[in-house]
Amino acid sequence: MSSDSPAGTPERPPTLHRPRSHTRSALASSPIPPRRGTPTGLAHFNGAPAEAAEALLLTCCGSHRWARRVAAHRPYPDLDALLAACDEAGYDLTAADVHEALARESSPGLHPDAHQAAHTALAAAHAAYESRFGHAFVICLDRYGPDEHLDELLAGIRSRLSHEPDEERSVSADELRALARSRVARAVAGRP
């Protein structure tokens, strides 16, 4: 992110991770079409029909219950309040909600220009993880620079492969919350 980040959110580089349901920014693929003369950003999100707000939120976290809950508490006075609601709803996810959200995720990849050996190593690590836990590996890379992503992905998978399934489900839920927060902030700000 550049210095134009929303108040209250730290400057961070974008995550590599994208939910399975989209490859463009959440706002660009949003079912909330901007109309001429209408507000954008948080005001636009607050004023959108419930179904459209929920659909946008589902691109940020694949739990329907989470999306309904966050959408139901609109309007939000500012981005911090919206992100706090996202966190609160994320902490209330049941095991079934986490399973639903993880099913909509895909494992993070690398930029297509990365060396083939890096893609091969990462694909093998993802396969081992998905074989052990039955879902995609999720990690929020916001606090790392792009040049650190491969190392962090591989180190994360390597360390988390030693987890018991219940422990890994908890770690994955934490990463889902971080990803949802990051994606919501970007979607409301209109950034990919």
State how far the alpha carbon of 94 is from the alpha carbons of 89, 98, 170, in Å. 10, 6, 11
CA distance 129 to 107: 10
Looking at residues 125-136, what average pLDDT do you find? 96
What is the band of 191 on the pLDDT scale with cuts at 50, 70, 90? Answer: low
9-192 folds as: UraD-like (1.10.3330)
Domain ranges of the chain: 9-192
pTM over the 0.85 mark = no
Mean pLDDT score of the chain: 82
Nearest CA to 134 out of 98, 178, 90, 102 is that of: 102
State how far the alpha carbon of 61 is from the alpha carbons of 107, 112, 136, in Å. 14, 25, 14
Token readout for 145 is 């620079």
CA distance 50 to 47: 9
For the stretch 50-92, pLDDT in tens is 999 999 999 999 999 999 999 999 999 999 999 999 999 999 9
Nearest CA to 9 out of 74, 80, 98 is that of: 80
